[in-house]
Amino acid sequence: MSKATPHINLSEDIFAGLNVKTRGERSDYVDVLEMEKGREVSFNAASVFLYKISAGNVGVWRSKDLTEATSTMCTVDQLSFYFATVGYFVSLTVIDCTVYLFLGFHIMLSLASVSLHELGALGSTVASEWILGPAVFMYLPPLLEGSLEYGSLAEALKRIISGFDPMAEMFPAGILYWFLTLLFFTFQNKTKAAAVRNALTAGTASYKATGRPNANTRLTLLDTFLQYRHLHYKDAVIFLLYFVLYKSASL
């Protein structure tokens, strides 16, 4: 199907599942382990793969298949189906857009000579430049998922804190694990959000060949810059300009 309409049905396995669902059929699942299969383990290859599935998910948003599959579901099943298909990418994109809104709001306050102290006197919750609330909110889904999988909230919280790597429970390796995990997933979440926004703007999604390189394959600094210039560096420069404007207006 993806070869017939490569810019719409890019995620052909998802559309195949939707077709099976709407027809009321069943599909057997067979998992086969293959030597050297799934080698998107390097940083750049993982980014390309996540970009491809994120952009392809936009085609699922716009498809008639998704509407037909949910037309006969109850509300609870629709919520479950939403988070199993497009909800994750919608959430990442909304969070990415709200960062721009949050920063732009504080810049406009500075340009209007309105301080955060004045907002605090009015009892406004935006008086504090917070990040703890959204961070805790984003931890709720994996916490609830872990409680269902491991049987208790305590075990789920332990898994979130220590991860699945035994080295993460050791000090100081655990601190390094936390730092690298935060760096990796923050970077990849931005990659996925940028892919969704680009696909929404262009109206199409294109196939990205990961090449499935070996884990020890190295790219040059130029190759890395060219790969991420539109996804990360452009927005980083924009945020830097916003920051300079914010500091200048606050003087």
18-77 tens-digit pLDDT: 888 788 888 887 777 666 555 556 777 778 888 888 888 888 888 888 888 888 788 888
Q: Report the percentage of the chain scoring pLDDT > 70.
A: 71
Query: Are the C-beta atoms of 51 and 227 separated by less than 8 Å?
Result: no
Q: Calculate the average pLDDT of the chain.
A: 75
Q: How many CB atoms lie within 10 A of CB 67?
A: 11
Q: Where are the domains of the chain?
A: 12-23+40-250
Query: In angstroms, rounded to a whole number, what is the distance separating the alpha carbons of residues 12 and 184?
Result: 27
Q: What is the pLDDT of residues 122-163, one digit of tens each?
A: 766 666 655 555 566 666 666 777 777 778 888 777 776 666
Q: How far apart are CA 165 and CA 116, in angstroms?
A: 42
Residue 1 pLDDT: 45
- Closest by CA to 207, choosing from 41, 48, 20, 45, is 48
